[in-house]
A and B are shown apart, each in its own frame.
Chain A
């Protein structure tokens, strides 16, 4: 079950609406797993716990993946959790369309993403660490990896064709920008240093980041 939280409604009201809904259909939801789309809101750790408690009262379990947001102290809420549900659909997600996210809307993550971990953010993402094969990064904006990028990366996930992917060691398993998909050539080429991928025309083009 996927739960969308409207970003403009105050959290307290959301909770009481949710409670009412759950009470009305008490048995229907029993024992289910819920994935939450927090949307644009800034979520407090305490709010997340409250939500978990309300759901637990009705036998529901909050499952991954959880869209990353910002916590009270400005750090990323929770960690990129291993996905328990089926894979997400390919292609653009519902969102702000092809408007570039504000540069201030950037998530900075200082760890390595291991296989099976997924990071999703409605903005730009900077990762100080590696992205292992089997890991996924989905961002509405740019993706910058200060390390080795070997997983699946999707920049401009809501449709922004101007999004770019940058990595110090650029070896993604699969590369997506907006609705275009690309992958590395099958022949293993020697390391080429930091590179940037962007859309030019109707293709994804990869070029060296330095010595432009």
Chain B
């Protein structure tokens, strides 16, 4: 499951991009949008006009789960089980979620559950079928505080080692001392990291267009998401914090070794 506690830190973007990156590596991936009533995963993927059946229909037995799955228009091994927009999170129970995820796990290599923000029923639904967790946070005190709460609940549910994704890191602010580093965040949360996503304008553009950023070879955020997928697949890629200046002179300076990290 992809969770955070705090809203707006990048769970849905992460689910879409990590899912697509894994599919690009050849894996069979299904993404479940557990944010019933405020669904976004379909929008971020650009698949919203293909929704016929959704998670609630499946839970209520109105259709088999296969019928509700939407295949991505770009990656043939990537599927989406969308949420309902006209219901709310009480429309599905944790037991139903567990059944659905277990059924899907038989046919897919990865079942990614996009958890809603909060710690109430939506979160309880998302965690029901989960065996592992990715915790997303931004380098801000309130987000980290919420992430700590969530990690406590994941530990209580005995989910094996959650992994941390630090999103929207701004190296220029870190350099000025205005923003926390990955190390600062890890010191507080004390879980293993799996990736850092730099703050990147291309995310906003890609979300609006419904084209996940991993499709863009020039996007640094896309690059970071692709690396996370590789780490999930077992590759031992070191996590390096993003560099500051990305302009031409910045690259030259780094090449010559004049600019510190």
Contacts and interface: CB of A to CB of B under 8 A. Distances in A.
Interface of A: 79, 81-82, 112-117, 132-134
Nearest to A150: B188
Interface string B152-175: 110110000000000000000000
Interface stretch (B18-26, B81-89, B96-104, B143-151): B143-151
A79 B156 contact: yes
A133 B145 CA distance: 8
A116 B190 contact: no
Contacts of A116: 119, 148-149, 152-153
B149 A134 contact: yes
Contacts of B155: 114
A67 B146 CA distance: 24
A81 B152 CA distance: 9
Contacts, number: 32
A117 B148 CA distance: 10
B149 A81 contact: no
Given A116-B152, A117-B152, A132-B148, 14 more contacts: A79-B156, A82-B152, A82-B153, A82-B156, A113-B152, A114-B149, A114-B151, A114-B152, A115-B145, A115-B146, A115-B149, A132-B188, A133-B148, A134-B149
Contacts of A79: 156
Interface of B: 119, 145-146, 148-149, 151-153, 155-156, 188, 190
Contacts of B156: 79, 81-82
Give the interface centre of A115, A117, A134 by most chain B CB atoms within 10 Å: A115
A133 B149 CA distance: 10
27 contacts: A79-B156, A81-B156, A82-B119, A82-B149, A82-B152, A82-B156, A112-B190, A113-B152, A114-B148, A114-B149, A114-B155, A115-B146, A115-B148, A115-B149, A115-B152, A116-B119, A116-B148, A116-B152, A116-B153, A117-B152, A132-B148, A132-B188, A133-B145, A133-B148, A134-B145, A134-B148, A134-B149
Contacts of A112: 190
Give the interface centre of A114, A116, A117 by most chain B CB atoms within 10 Å: A114
Contacts of A82: 119, 149, 152-153, 156
Nearest to A64: B156
A92 B119 CA distance: 30
A164 B148 CA distance: 27
A82 B156 CA distance: 8
Contacts of B119: 82, 116
B53 to A, nearest CB: 31
